[in-house]
Amino acid sequence: MSTSEPSKEIEALRRAMSITRMVDYGMSRDQAERAHRDVVTAPSWDVCLEAIADEAIQHARTADTSGQREVAAEHWRKAAASLVFAQMAFNFDGDRKRALYRRMTDCFAEHVKRTQFSIEKIGAPYRGGRLFGWLCRAPGQSAAPTVIVFGGMSGWATAYLSMAEALCNAGLSCMLVDGPGQGESRLEGGVFLSAEVAVAFSSFVDLAIEASGGKPTGIWGNSFGGLFAALTTIADARISACCINGAPPRCEVPPFRTATEQMSAMFGRSSLDDVADVMGALSFDGARSPLVVPTLVVEGGADPLVPLGTQAAFREGNNHPSSGTLTWPDGEHTIYNHGSERNVLVSRWFAETFSL
């Protein structure tokens, strides 16, 4: 291996896991900047990010010892977020990736014990495997309309905790979930992506309706998951509102090696050579099957993966008066760089759509 190859790999990882993305997922800016700085001389990306997580864990334990519950909660959260990025160093599943993801889940569970929000782990059997997620409610909140939130090829359930908090603050409940080919549902539950992705996500709709006592259910898909959100909304009439954030309207072979490997892993394959038919089925066609519920499209003018205007396809055939598009001219992919504002506006839209 030439001396230039490691630096190219590190630069690719830094681009994929930008500072704005790290902060959006729960790391502090200081941690994110340290990661981008230290990884240049660290043995590897995962070792660098795990070291940052270990330091946060030490701070959390110290805070716990001194009775600083809120401080400890924040450090456990930062540790979990750091481990989210540590495991992203590996596109395909293996012992190291699973070990890091389990550590992440353990840290997130420690955060959950100390947060002001009510958060509990949920699960559902699915075709010989198991789907996993987290049900999030505001303190003292009874049954409320629920929004199911998830990501795409590498950003998974716990990474979207800030979205859950914003939804809870708006009077809603939230389910942070891992669908087929994602997070715990893939690494522990053995559930991989298939043409029947909508059937799997409908299992979470079952859980949301049960938890809310029959109140409305919304769905919010981020990145590649936005396509899953659209397909599930078309297939499941129980979904009352849909938000699509930074999604392509069809499943295609990505132009970058990293993304191609991540997509292959979602299907549980080493390559995409034998899943062309399935990929073809994972497409949105508004002319044939439009979204008829209130639909919010979120787009960014600086998104390198989903160019501005691409997501207009999701609005084709949709004439609901509550539908709309939120655009940030300088918005990065899924609007990492305006995360707090994005969360407030989208949560407010769901609340207004549900007439809260």
Extents of the domains making up the chain:
1-115, 117-356
| pLDDT for the residue 315 | 97
Tens of pLDDT, residue by residue over 208-233, are 999 999 999 999 999 999 999 999 99
When pLDDT is cut at 50, 70 and 90, the band that residue 356 belongs to is: low
Strand-pair category, 239-245 with 295-300: parallel
pLDDT at 2 over 50: no
Tens of pLDDT, residue by residue over 335-346, are 999 999 999 999
pLDDT at 89 over 60: yes
The predicted model scores a pTM of 0.96
What DSSP state is assigned to residue 66?
Answer: T
Instruction: Match 């049954």 to its residue by tokens.
Output: 143
When pLDDT is cut at 50, 70 and 90, the band that residue 87 belongs to is: very high
- For the chain, strand residue ranges (E) read 118-126, 129-137, 146-150, 173-178, 217-222, 239-245, 295-300, 324-328
Q: How far is CA 261 from CA 172, 266, 317, 324, in A?
A: 36, 9, 34, 33
| pLDDT for the residue 256 | 83
The rounded mean pLDDT for the chain is 96
Compute the average pLDDT of residues 269-293.
94
More confident residue, 10 or 192: 192
The answer to whether residues 162 and 233 touch, using CB atoms and an 8 Å cutoff, is: no
Query: How far is the C-alpha of 275 from the C-alpha of 279, rounded, in Å?
Result: 6
Question: In this structure, which topology does domain 1-115 adopt according to CATH?
Answer: de novo design (two linked rop proteins) (1.20.1440)
Can you say whether the dihedral through the CA atoms of 199, 16, 276, 267 is positive or negative?
Answer: negative
The answer to whether residues 212 and 296 touch, using CB atoms and an 8 Å cutoff, is: no
Domain at 117-356: CATH code: 3.40.50.1820
Pull the structure tokens for residue 94.
């293996």
Strand-pair category, 295-300 with 324-328: parallel
Pull the structure tokens for residue 219.
């769905």
pLDDT at 3 over 90: no
Tens of pLDDT, residue by residue over 163-186, are 999 999 999 999 999 999 999 999
Nearest to 203 by CA among 225, 177, 224: 177
